[in-house]
Structure 1
Amino acid sequence: MALPTSAHEGPGLSLSNPEQTPWSETERLAALRAYDILDTDPEAAFDDIVALIARVCDAPIAVVNLIDAGRQWFKAEVGLGVRETPLDTSFCAHALLQQDGMVVPDATRDARFACNPLVTGDSHLRFYAGSLLKTAEGLPIGTLCVLDTEPRLQGLTDLQQQALETLARQVMTQLELRRALRLASQSQDAAGRAIAASNYIGVYDWDITNDRVVADARFAEMYGVDPAKAARGAPIVEFFGAIHADDIAATQAAIDVAMRTLGEFEAEYRIVVGDRERWLLATGQVYPDASGAPAQFAGVAVDITARKTVELELAQTVAALKQSEAGFRALADAMPQMVWS
């Protein structure tokens, strides 16, 4: 489906005019800045996209362009050699007023751009095609665009336009995943600080010979054991029974190694008490009796549920990023063959 090529009469562009847009400029700028992308260093994921779309469209200029207040800033570019330009000469700012993007076959014949310094000056721009970069809420934050110094009265081919729209969506995927990774990292740092400051640490002391675990109230509550009973001493099985079925074997193996070597113990595992599942990090040390046999096993357990949740979310985000990049690589490998075949 072709992008619109109809020209608006006159240069009266206003990104904050409610009659021209269903969104406010305040909302749009807030959405852009939520990605924390402005004024960041070049990144290969975006550089690859502009290189590919420039080749597919046989265009000397291609840009990932983000429309900020008073300027357009380029996350990636081919053929420009600058990172930003003033907004008053921007083609892409006009594209934001369209539903999906914009094509300008010949800028000298378009009332919006005929007097634009980029058209009348040394840049000699004639052709423009841009596909919007839209958030999930439909807010346009910029474009993926190609430009040429020669007019193209027929616009882009169907394949070129499909590539432009597809790669614009890929830009948004990269922005979303980049933001997700940043937020996950921040959450992980916050979770680490919370754990470090937390009192949710339980202490235990297992008398191996008599099979009695004496624990404080926090440790007992973690495992769903009556604190009064834990204070007197309870068999290890009463605590062990709360460990998630999928984690029992690995936890038991770690205990066996500590017992056999009279060494340190460390294990991460889930605890299920009622309908509540928590992650614990348990550490300890085995001490021998006079004969050298394991007699005492003492240590602490820390609730690390917050940390594990962040780790899982981060792992899922990284997996999604790898899948997205794999899809882009496949498209990048196939697209030139499709264009030139």
Structure 2
Amino acid sequence: MEARLQTRIQRYGWDAAAGHYHAGWEAQLRPAHDRLLEMAAIGAGARVLETASGSGLVTLRLAEAVGQEGHVLATDLSQGMIDALQARLDEVRLSTVGTARMAAENLDVPDRSFDAAVCALGLMYTPDPAAAVAEMARVVAPGGTIAATVWGERRNCGWAEVFPIVDSRVASEVCPLFFGTGAPGALTRLFEQAGLEQTAEARQNEELAFRSERELLDAVLLGGPVALAVKRFSPSDWSDVQHEFLASVAPHRQGDGSYRIPGEFVTVTGRRKGGPLCSKSPEQKTATRRLHRVGRCPCTSSTL
């Protein structure tokens, strides 16, 4: 699919999903978000760019990590998602987070202007994931951290039949590259191609819990990447899609009518070459100053 068309589909698709995404996925995605934040290890005072922020499932947690001295710029292709996030920020009166509509492959921010860049479950939707990772690397200062989480392999995601079920009723594939970044080593290779070093990869398998058919259908069909397509279906197609999807996840239905559906996630971190790699603890600051004086510190900056 032509990249511009794919970008437009994603933009308006997530606009359509914005009203259902936060409630539909907050609990289910939390283990993946926990791993992302743990591996990113973002500290107080950091300047963080979040790409594909969605409605803010990770954004508010990033704001908590950086504290009052830090700053988070949350970006997303979808204005609907940005509006949903801004409403949450206004509600809690959080002034350390800014928002802007930007495509992941074309971030309108200066080079080296952030300490870290984070993307939680967004790279799968971009027409060019390599360009998106390269942009994250560009905007981070030397020594800074880049961290991203994606869905894993298709065979390990029990809800994955939603794509062929929907694609059979539309003119083009909704997410043609969705599972590409989750293949073994794929995301790490993108990080390395972007010039990042000290890469680390972790895979995790979780169960996505939904209390009922309705909760499951709302999350997957109305709060996910197929939302724009299904909202345009005729009543008969909409009914057929629901029944076919429920049949595809029937093995994961529990006796009480709830669902526990397997899902795999991949998280990768890397560091931009150069820059301050030294710890900021008081003891290690002292040691680092000594190394700077004799020209042996691996850090390229003497600002401590």
Query: Is TM (by shorter chain) over 0.5?
Result: no
What TM-score, normalized by structure 1, do the two folds share? 0.29
